[in-house]
Structure 1
Amino acid sequence: MEAPLILTCCLAALLLYSNTLHAQFAYDDSRAIKTNPDVLPSTPILQLFWNDFWGTPLTHSGSHKSYRPLTVLSFRLNYALAEFEPFAYHITNVILHVIATGLFAVLTSLLAPNARLFSFTAPLLFAAHPIHSEAVSGVVGRADVGAAIFLLLALLSYIQYCKKSSINGHSNATSTAYYSSAAAAAGAAASSSKSFSSAASANASSSSSSSGAVGGCGGVVTTAVIGASRACSSKLYLSLAVLFSALSMLTKELGITALAVCAAHHIFVHAKIRLKDLPSLIWDKRQHQQLWSAVAVLAASGALLLGARLVIMGALPPEFAPADNPAADCDSAMVRGLTFLFLPAFNLWLLLCPATLSFDWSMEAVPLVTTLADPRNLASLSLYGGLAALCLTYLTGWRRPWGGSGVLPRRLGFDDSSNAGDDVVILALALLVLPFLPATNLFFYVGFVVAERILYIPSMGVCLLVSWGIHVLHLRARSTRTRRLLYAAVAILFVLFAARTWRRNQDWSTEENLYRSGIPINPPKAFGNLANILSSQGKKEEAEWAYKKALSYRSNMADVHYNLGILFQEQKRYEESIHEYRLAIQFRPRMAMAHLNLGLVLGLLSRKDEAIEVYRQCSQLDGSGLKDPRTHEATKISALFNLGRLYADDGQYEKAIQVYMEAVDKMPAHYLPQSLYNMLGEAYFKLENLEEAERWYLKALRVKADHVPAHLTYGKLLARMNRGSEAEEWFRKALVLAPKDSSVHQHYGQFLSESDRHVEAADHYVQAAVIAPSEYEIVINAANTLRQAGKNREAEHYYRLAVSIRPLDATSHMNLGAMLHVNGKLHEAEASYLEALRLKPDDSITRTNLQKLRHLLVKKGISPTR
């Protein structure tokens, strides 16, 4: 294909996905990128080759076993350039899709260089196919796009290897014949009296036998050198094919099928071997020795790569939840078999008619095939019948058989157009079937029902078949009108694909759009995920409705119960929250986060004994087999942390220290311990063990130098130890780190107030109150400090604000009354005192203040209120 046509296909791929560049992270992107420690530079780069795609060690029982270190490395490079800015990740995906489209265009041009319509249509349909939207728009889909690129590079390298090795074999035969003719010509010259010109024609410009022999030997040497050079070149391409196949596997697991695709190309496309001839060729390897040598290299490479993969993953298969792949969890062998037979047909339908797409096909999105009478079995029969017919047609009935000669037809390239259709169909079948085999549940169960992104490579096969069909129709069209109709049909197909892709990309632009689009296909998963988004947007009522809607479809979803519990907890609907957390634990007993939050709510309700029991249970949960062991282990330590705080709040500091130390002993390497160390310091501070307190505060600061709470608590400790200048230095450091943190201003203000620097203290309390105007303690402290600083008018304002925050608090009304009294607002002061007494009739201080006020009113000739 001409370069302009290849560039046109690449440009189409670029333009069609340009609306993804400003998309957000969606669905699995957050876990694979934002919460994946392997993406961060703090993780040693070699660790990528020992962890799965999500950052879990491959040997862990809960590992997903998805081994894609090159994909994670690409995320890491994106992070190095732009941290977690989605644009950098999305533009990388689009560029990779453009590269894949260009390589696919090169492949089609090699397959049928004289079929321009085919060579242009196939990559154009590939560029626009809607099934690719998940792989390109979703950042996680980069694994499939990258694997496709390396697979295409492997296949193109292997095609060059086949061509070079064929040319090399032809050259060797020619050099032998040339050497024999030269020797014969030299013998004839010695026994006859031929003229110079005759000798020249026979011996290639030589007049004597000796000179002819020399010339002949020189030709042999030259040809031998050329042949050796070509042999080295062919081995280089074979090595590249194996290397790119390995890189494809390191990008995504299914990339190892690149070796199988290369082998299929060599056997059935290049060497033109029929299925029935394979046994004889296997027994007699002298024929096509170069073919079997190459296939042996591919097989050995595949075995080596698979062996290394099994060693790295600990030779343990992954474990999945029943909802991920319901058929695999079904007890009926018939149901499993019928469903697994149907799923490839369903995937093929998505490739042929990608009208209905979903971000998730788990649970009951694709119902199980439970009986032989299910009409979907017809789709299965049609698929396998069609594949069998294609194989019988193209792998057993060649138009140019051996003819009994024992020599298979060999092609030097792809110039023989009479066989181009066979080449296209066979390679299309290889690309369609072989990369899809790992997802068929044939060799092992997979953790999904349908995954659109894994169809990125198989879609090449469909595009080849459809485009070759269009090419054949074009050849058979006898009139210009018919051909124009065909062109119009192709244009309409491309426009439909392009429009669907553009629209589907918009679904992937935000998580809300994505989950709303999935409601018709997988309502429980879509509603549950949508509720999370709505809750994060502050749309609590809509979120609650969505959570309950999800549970109406599938009531045993522990995640949804847990998230609904969080929603109720945020709304202080604690009893409802407890109910949801208990349901989450019922459906998933080892869900550590549900245990932790249940303990927190019980603590808020002062149900301390229950909270202690729940925290203890949480800290002892087994984490084997869980998909996110890092979070699970961290949550167990958080349970101990909160248990210690519960004891500390109850004044049981010795018990608190004991629990904190247990947490220190058990915490995993990835746990951030600065808060735990800080709380240990607090507990020792309360026990007047100031040396130990200082040791733990400093330890917290060494772990995280910008940990603001440790700055504040250490500052308080230093003030207590009469090291005022050091204390103030730490408070000032905290201000630099968090100038808009109300607690920093509050603690610094308290320090200044205790140092009798009331004016400075008042300034900081006011700043704290501006930042957090609804925090009662901050507001009342600001009012008190302003009064001490002699700023009575400002103090009055904050006393009024305190009353508005706690209108039923008698002390607030009493304080406001006292301030109004001082400021000469006697009637308002009287009203505040009376309100305080209404709320707390037996308060002696308020009664005394009211009596003094009324005495002053009488003295001024003003009648007090009755």
Structure 2
Amino acid sequence: MDPWGYHLVNVLLHAAVTGLFTNFSRILFGDGYWTLIAGLLFASHPIHTEAVAGIVGRADIGACLFFLLSLMCYVKHCSTRGSSPSTWGWILGAGLCAGCSMLWKEQGVTVLAISAVYDIFVFHRLKMHQIISALYKRKNLTLFFSIGLLTSWGTALLGVRLYWMGNKPPSFSNSDNPAADSDSFLTRTLTFFYLPTKNLWLLLCPDTLSFDWSMDAVPLLKAVSDWRNLHTVAFYAGLLLLAYFSLKGSSNERECNGKTVMNGKQNANGHSCHPEMEYKTLEAKSSFASKEENGLKKHEIQKLQLPSTENIVILSLSLLIVPFVPATNLFFYVGFVIAERVLYVPSMGFCLLVTVGVRALYVKAQKRFLKNLVFCSTAALIVFYGLKTVVRNGDWQNEEMLYRSGIKVNPAKAWGNLGNVLKSQSKISEAESAYRNALYYRSNMADMLYNLGLLLQENSRFSEALHYYKLAIGSRPTLASAYLNTGIILMNQGKTEEARRTFVKCSEIPDENLKDPHAHKSSVTSCLYNLGKLFHEQGHYEEALTVYKEAIQKMPRQFAPQSLYNMMGEAYMRMSRLPEAEHWYVESLRSKSDHIPAHLTYGKLLALTGRKSEAEKYFMKAIQLDPTKGNCYMHYGQFLLEESRLIEAAEMAKKAAELDNTEFDVVFNAAHMLRQASLNEEAEKYYEMAAGLRPNYPAALMNLGAILHLNGKLKEAEENYLLALQLKPDDVITQSNLRKLWNIMEKQGLKTSKT
């Protein structure tokens, strides 16, 4: 459970991804400092903290790693297409890496779409109208063959993934994505359109980050008049304008490695850069020329040329948007409002977009002062991103710091999780306060109501616990664990009929649309188990068996059945159906070989059927399994007593009472055994102890009076008989014992309380 190793591996993976991303940026920006800036932006961006610091984020890092490997393979395929037989090996590698990326996380399959964008708009530099023209005139068929392979492989991957999902979209809890649960089409539409805007803002300004953006972290947009709709309009307008002008590609200016070149002048690295008309001519030659003619020269030209600003913007927008599409609720509802780790792959597009934008500003700036200002501002941005990442890493050092950091964004969930952490640290009052804070922000959180009830129950505040369990059930009628604990408290309070109704209602909860079906089935099985125990304690063994059998049918695979099997054996034994009882005792021990109650009950059955030596082995085995458990000594002592081994039985009784001196049943039975062994002085000691544990229990007072009576302490005996009769006036045995005591006291001339 030490996270150090996990974190190290994630950091190494992030370093590998950063290296691949920087290497890919060289294809777009060359070997100059713009490539370095793109790499540093990606390396330092705070939005990556969740993916790197949290083990679950490894899925996103791994997907991005193979995403980039697939893209690099396809880039290699493009550069060798028509000139090398290895080109189809590269496209095979691209497909395999895309499949691996999808196995890490589904959004990895979108690399195939990005590869197609690269091929069409960056490598071939086609405009939208040229694509249609090329299709119509059947020119450059190898390009469209490659795109066809990408499309076919992507369709196959998605088809297989959908099949594995059972041909239906995933389902999530409503609280994880409140907009999806809204009945209003307007609310859903406005909110879903706004969420990408919020995600972009987190990329631009990652000032406020959180481990959890679910519930009300982003309030729903319920009306057109909501001012946040202005952000939505500005976002999509800016995106569309950027895409339009990039696709239109009207600029006559080219940038090569940060150098502005007009009218075909050469850049500082000796790469030829052409104005727009020359590029059109060159594109026509390079894209539609026959593969046999000047093939090598054509590819050398394409290697020398760097993509234009417009080309890079198109690719950057694609990298930003396409991998994010699965998280937009466009095709199916997702289980989150915002998830920072989901932005790990799209952030590559963002970093490229920022870099190309900064480069454009740098190139446009006429004065050296302005160029330096642009460069210094970019450096400052990288430094601030890095500092924020360091600070955010501090929040991820442990659970308590992480949940405290999320209070600002999602107070209900953060306080609730913080309560769980504080409870695990035995900070009970602080945990209770955290749970109540969570409920202050969101009063209908069933899990939080249940957790608070559990905390109160564990601290013996049963009435308060019962109140919160009932509130939890009201908030989520399918919360089986709340029914279970409600029934247990009611059963312990003697409200058996109400407890029975609670357990029955729990067993009737349908198994559909549950947040955690396995935990639900376990709680339902436990409810049936306790219902069976309730019938068992009332002497209704047939009903108990019926309920136990239903529990066995409903129990999930991860449920530990040893106690259930043992109680089945107990019910059969009470009905004198010993072979069935033995079968279930054996099943209990088979499911858990160190289950102490099964050793004790099976030992009793063996003793009853005459297998004394075998029975004794099971009693002794129970003691060996837990030498600190007084109940084990008690059962063994009872066996020894029945075998007339009185001295050994007395020793076991005393040992049991010493170990469990706060358990009334153990102390009371120890006193009985000592009395039966004629050790009356020691029996008196334990009867007094038992009466102290339950001062209002008539049987304890009556038995204490009886042992005092036998030991000649007549006055004390009379006091205890009278106290017992006050609690149970019609007890025949106590009345008879008291009359006998009074006769003895009168014969001895002692004053009695009899009037």
TM-score (norm 2): 0.82
Could you say which residue in structure 2 is the equivalent of 1:138?
A: 54
Task: Pick one of 329, 339, 344 that aligns with 1:456.
Answer: 344
Q: C-alpha displacement at 1:154, in angstroms?
A: 1.1
Stretch deviating more after TM superposition (381-390 or 798-807): 798-807
Q: C-alpha displacement at 1:283, in angstroms?
A: 1.9
Cα 1:711–1:125, aligned 2, differ >3 Å: closer, same or farther?
farther
Could you say which residue in structure 2 is the equivalent of 1:562?
A: 450
Contact 1:813 1:833 in 2 (8 A): no
Could you say which residue in structure 1 is the equivalent of 2:441?
A: 553
1:671-705 deviations in whole A, cap 9, x for unaligned?
A: 44332221110101111211111011112222333
Q: C-alpha displacement at 1:595, in angstroms?
A: 2.8
* Aligned counterparts, 1:390-469, within 5 A: 390-397=242-249, 399=252, 400=276, 401-403=279-281, 406-408=284-286, 412=300, 416=304, 418-419=306-307, 421-422=309-310, 424-469=312-357
Contact 1:817 1:831 in 2 (8 A): no
Cα 1:127–1:654, aligned 2, differ >3 Å: closer, same or farther?
same
CA distance in 1, matches of 2:156, 2:201: 35
Q: C-alpha displacement at 1:577, in angstroms?
A: 3.8
1:342-386 deviations in whole A, cap 9, x for unaligned?
A: 111100111111111222222222122233343322322332233
Stretch deviating more after TM superposition (467-476 or 673-682): 467-476
CA distance in 2, matches of 1:481, 1:630: 65
Q: Does 1:627 align with 2:479?
A: no
Cα 1:529–1:462, aligned 2, differ >3 Å: closer, same or farther?
same
Could you say which residue in structure 2 is the equivalent of 1:652?
A: 540
Q: Does 1:257 align with 2:128?
A: no
Task: Pick one of 218, 227, 247 that aligns with 1:375.
Answer: 227
Could you say which residue in structure 1 is the equivalent of 2:404?
A: 516
Stretch deviating more after TM superposition (453-462 or 132-141): 132-141
Q: Does 1:664 align with 2:552?
A: yes
Q: C-alpha displacement at 1:271, in angstroms?
A: 1.4
Stretch deviating more after TM superposition (811-820 or 446-455): 811-820
Q: C-alpha displacement at 1:338, in angstroms?
A: 2.4
Q: C-alpha displacement at 1:538, in angstroms?
A: 4.0
Could you say which residue in structure 2 is the equivalent of 1:602?
A: 490
Could you say which residue in structure 1 is the equivalent of 2:729?
A: none
Could you say which residue in structure 1 is the equivalent of 2:18?
A: 101
Q: Does 1:294 align with 2:152?
A: no
Q: Does 1:279 align with 2:167?
A: no
Stretch deviating more after TM superposition (445-454 or 742-751): 742-751
CA distance in 2, matches of 1:156, 1:801: 80
Letter in 1 for 2:323: P
* Aligned counterparts, 1:718-757, within 5 A: 718-757=606-645
1:449-502 deviations in whole A, cap 9, x for unaligned?
A: 111111111112222233444556667789998887777655544443344334
Q: C-alpha displacement at 1:655, in angstroms?
A: 1.4
* Aligned counterparts, 1:229-268, within 5 A: 230-231=84-85, 233-268=86-121
Q: C-alpha displacement at 1:414, in angstroms?
A: 7.6
Cα 1:837–1:510, aligned 2, differ >3 Å: closer, same or farther?
farther
Could you say which residue in structure 1 is the equivalent of 2:595?
A: 707
Contact 1:110 1:414 in 2 (8 A): no
Cα 1:572–1:850, aligned 2, differ >3 Å: closer, same or farther?
farther
Q: C-alpha displacement at 1:574, in angstroms?
A: 4.2
Stretch deviating more after TM superposition (463-472 or 675-684): 463-472
Letter in 1 for 2:281: G
Aligned sequence identity (%): 46
Structure 2: unaligned runs, 5 residues or longer: 253-275, 288-297, 727-733, 751-755
1:180-218 deviations in whole A, cap 9, x for unaligned?
A: xxxxxxxxxxxxxxxxxxxxxxxxxxxxxxxxxxxxxxx
Q: C-alpha displacement at 1:853, in angstroms?
A: 11
Q: Secondary structure at the match of 1:323?
A: helix
CA distance in 2, matches of 1:137, 1:664: 42
1:703-747 deviations in whole A, cap 9, x for unaligned?
A: 333333322221221122221221222234334444454544443
Stretch deviating more after TM superposition (142-151 or 521-530): 521-530
* Aligned counterparts, 1:606-617, within 5 A: 606-617=494-505
Q: Does 1:270 align with 2:123?
A: yes
Q: Secondary structure at the match of 2:285?
A: coil
CA distance in 1, matches of 2:697, 2:185: 69
CA distance in 2, matches of 1:743, 1:397: 86
CA distance in 1, matches of 2:462, 2:69: 59
Could you say which residue in structure 1 is the equivalent of 2:255?
A: none
Cα 1:308–1:418, aligned 2, differ >3 Å: closer, same or farther?
closer
1:113-138 deviations in whole A, cap 9, x for unaligned?
A: 412x3333333332332222222222
CA distance in 1, matches of 2:301, 2:720: 99
Q: Secondary structure at the match of 1:403?
A: helix
Could you say which residue in structure 2 is the equivalent of 1:676?
A: 564
Cα 1:674–1:443, aligned 2, differ >3 Å: closer, same or farther?
same
Cα 1:464–1:855, aligned 2, differ >3 Å: closer, same or farther?
farther
Contact 2:638 2:673 in 1 (8 A): no
Q: C-alpha displacement at 1:255, in angstroms?
A: 1.4
* Aligned counterparts, 1:162-177, within 5 A: 162-165=78-81, 169=82, 171=83
CA distance in 2, matches of 1:330, 1:348: 24
CA distance in 2, matches of 1:381, 1:251: 34
CA distance in 1, matches of 2:714, 2:343: 79
Q: C-alpha displacement at 1:536, in angstroms?
A: 4.2
Contact 2:27 2:306 in 1 (8 A): no
Q: C-alpha displacement at 1:242, in angstroms?
A: 1.0
Could you say which residue in structure 2 is the equivalent of 1:63?
A: none
Letter in 2 for 1:642: N
Stretch deviating more after TM superposition (403-412 or 297-306): 403-412
Could you say which residue in structure 2 is the equivalent of 1:201?
A: none
1:498-544 deviations in whole A, cap 9, x for unaligned?
A: 44334333433443333332222222223333334444444444444
Contact 1:833 1:850 in 2 (8 A): no
Contact 2:422 2:428 in 1 (8 A): yes
Q: How many equivalent residue pairs?
A: 706
Could you say which residue in structure 1 is the equivalent of 2:198?
A: 346
1:587-640 deviations in whole A, cap 9, x for unaligned?
A: 323332233333323322333333323322222221122232222233333322
Could you say which residue in structure 1 is the equivalent of 2:531?
A: 643
Could you say which residue in structure 1 is the equivalent of 2:291?
A: none
Could you say which residue in structure 2 is the equivalent of 1:309?
A: 161
Q: Secondary structure at the match of 2:281?
A: coil
CA distance in 2, matches of 1:481, 1:747: 92
Q: Secondary structure at the match of 1:402?
A: helix
Q: Secondary structure at the match of 1:368?
A: coil
Stretch deviating more after TM superposition (574-583 or 592-601): 574-583
Q: C-alpha displacement at 1:646, in angstroms?
A: 1.0
Letter in 2 for 1:138: G
CA distance in 2, matches of 1:606, 1:814: 23
Letter in 2 for 1:156: M
Cα 1:738–1:239, aligned 2, differ >3 Å: closer, same or farther?
farther
Contact 1:837 1:847 in 2 (8 A): no
* Aligned counterparts, 1:753-768, within 5 A: 753-757=641-645
CA distance in 1, matches of 2:742, 2:16: 84
TM-score (norm 1): 0.72
Pick 1 or 2: higher relative contact order, CA cutoff 8 A, min separation 6: 1
Task: Pick one of 62, 70, 76 that aligns with 1:160.
Answer: 76
